[in-house]
Amino acid sequence: MGQAVKDRTHVVVVDDHKMIREGVSRIFRDYGFPDVQTAESGEKALEIKAQMPSGDAVAIITDTEMPGMSGILLTKQIRSNDPQAVIIGMSISPVYKQALLAAGADYFLSKEKAFDLPQMTENLLVQRFENN
């Protein structure tokens, strides 16, 4: 199921730091996810998500602290509209971990462990597909 899951998933990497966005999106592409987009803000991520066909698998990888819409508010909005979306929060500091998880994120990961994100995302997607 591995590559099939990757092929039908839209990944959006949300971070206000360009280097992080580009680095994390490259990690996902190198891992075999063909559809990876980036957003510099929560607002832009919502615009990208709105353009995706409904019913498609979506994985949102979001920073917690950003100007404008935070990753916590982004998580709440996406979760309320798409309960099947996989949402993983990331930050340098674990200070926002509980708030992000309470907002509906599936997992929280320190940015230093960004190389673990694609495997974790794939595992969560497989679980979602198996339960539906």
Locate 34 and state its tokens: 């063909």
Band of the pLDDT at 16, cuts 50, 70, 90? very high
Strands (E), 64-106: 86-91
**Which value, to the nearest 10 degrees, does the dihedral of the CA atoms of residues 100, 103, 107, 110 take?**
-10
pLDDT mean over 22-39: 95
CA-wise closest residue to 49 among 67, 68, 30, 74? 74
Rounded Cα gap, residues 27 and 32, in angstroms: 9
Band of the pLDDT at 131, cuts 50, 70, 90? low
> How much is the pTM?
0.90
Q: Is the Cβ–Cβ distance between 105 and 75 less than 8 Å?
A: yes
